[in-house]
Amino acid sequence: MAPPCPACVPCLQTAPCLPVAQVGAGLHDRRRTTRMFRYFPTNYVWNLSVDLAIEMGARMGEIEEMCAPLQEAAKQPDAAGTQAFREIWSTMADKLCGLAEEDETAGRRLSAGEKYNRAATYYLTCERLQAHGAPGRAALYQRFLDTFARGIDLAKENCERVEIPYEGKHLSGLLVRAEGVSGPAPLLVQVNGLDSTKEMKYRVGLPAWLARRGVSSLIVDQPGTGEALRLHGMTARHDSEHWASRIVDWLETRADVDARRIGLEGVSLGGYYCPRAVAFEPRFACGVVWGANHDWRDVQKRRLEKEGNFPVPHYWAHVQWVWGAKDLDDFMRIAENVHLDGVLDRIHVPFLVTHGEKDSQIPLKWAHRTYEQLVNSPKRELKIFTDREGGVQHSSFDNSINAGHYIADWIAETLGGHTA
């Protein structure tokens, strides 16, 4: 780690600052090649989690209060480090819930809702880092769900929990309605990656940005993610059209949805799920990937060779849980199916491929591969987010707003919403 600048309060950069003369008296350049806020210089996974929390609305003062005591824990092995992370972040969330209860008692329901919403973000952030089967993880997740629901209700947000019949159980989703639309509206189904949840995607903001553009959203915990995995034991499957088609079936029964204008978006590993589903489910009117994931089998082989960053601690145990694998060898056999070669020529609808220029998890070449194989899409586009607009890291978690608005505009233009 580079030493801090002698002329100012130490910052947390891991690349040397430019000389003061080059950037102005009393200042230094904190820019890094990764373009990522890194509170913990040696721990990418924790930095990813903190950045995601910020994107979901965390407050910087609370981030500082939670993260400052964790500097040494960030250097510890996963089990010890993530336990420390959980204790501090859940304590902050507990405090916010206590403050929210005081607001409720005083009749200040909107203020209470805002605090519950932020508390839910902190509960989810620390739950996501825990190992599968870690003591108390299930209770923590339920605490998160209850807090999130309470916050949404009190804050009167445009967000409704829905349940979609599937395999004798259900897939849970969040429905956000288009603003200012009378009658059936276009809708974008949005699905998770390997370790995200519907609430994370909702909080980052794409559903709200789409609602202002006259497009509804349905954010779903598909098999292998969120409630489907944690509460119902539904593991991931490579043939994503199996569950995606059931979602379209359900949407077609709703009077508030224009069934001819249903699109699908996927983030991170959703960059595989989405194109696969659009290829085999012709009722989707368009597709978008926020972070291409053309050949996830190859990514796993590279990760075995210590190439690229992991998105979560306990990575190999996590992916075995998600995919229902007996062991690592079984998981690697399953992963052989998770690629898009020989699939994308089936897509005959508009498709947007986006990727961060400096994605440290999924190489940029896979975005080009996906785009190149969309040979029958009547409107295909490849958008690489660069330093100029931000969002250069994996699925733009480092700075999502400009990238997200680009996606929202493309969706609105494609599905018949509006951009002005």
Q: Whole-number mean pLDDT of the chain?
A: 91
Of the candidates 219, 195, 203, 40, the one whose C-alpha atom is nearest the C-alpha of residue 122 is: 203
Residue 370: is its pLDDT beyond 70? yes
Q: What is the pLDDT of residue 77?
A: 79
**Residue closest to 281 by CA, chosen among 249, 236, 257:** 249
Residue position matching structure tokens 């429905």: 175
| Six-digit token string for 62 | 């609370």
Please say whether the dihedral angle defined by the alpha carbons of residues 393, 395, 398 and 403, taken in this order, is positive or negative: positive
Could you tell me the two tokens for 344?
């994308």
- The answer to whether residue 396 scores a pLDDT higher than 80 is yes
Q: Which residue type, as a one-letter code, is found at position 346? A: R
Indicate the pairing of strand 169-176 with strand 160-166. antiparallel
Report residue 134 CA to chain centroid gap.
Answer: 22
Q: CB–CB of 225/196 below 8 Å? A: yes
pLDDT at 9 > cutoff 90: no
List Cβ neighbours of 304 (8 Å cut-off, separation of 6 or more).
Answer: 332
pLDDT at 13 over 70: no
CB 243 within 8 A of CB 166: yes
| Position 34 confidence tier, pLDDT thresholds 50, 70, 90 | low
- The answer to whether the CB of 170 falls within 8 A of the CB of 247 is no
| Domains, the chain | 44-124 (no CATH), 159-415 (3.40.50.1820)
* Whole-number CA gyration radius for the chain: 21
pTM, entire model:
0.90
Q: Residues 61-99, buried b or exposed e (16+ Cβ, 10 A)?
A: ebbeebbeebeebbeeebeebbbbbbebbbebbeebbeb
Kindly state the percentage of the chain with pLDDT values over 90: 83
Give the count of beta carbons closer than 10 Å to the beta carbon of residue 110: 10
Q: How far is CA 108 from CA 59, 65, 79, 105, 275, in A?
A: 20, 26, 40, 7, 45
Q: Who wins on pLDDT, 278 or 80? A: 278
Q: Which of these ranges, 80-94, 195-209, 239-253, 297-311, has the smallest mean pLDDT?
A: 297-311
Output the pLDDT for position 20: 31
Which of these ranges, 200-204, 229-233, 336-340, 359-363, has the smallest mean pLDDT? 359-363
pLDDT digits (tens, 9 = 90+) for 297-319: 999 999 998 877 788 888 999 99
Between 339 and 27, the higher pLDDT residue:
339
How many other CB atoms are there within 10 angstroms of residue 194's CB atom?
22
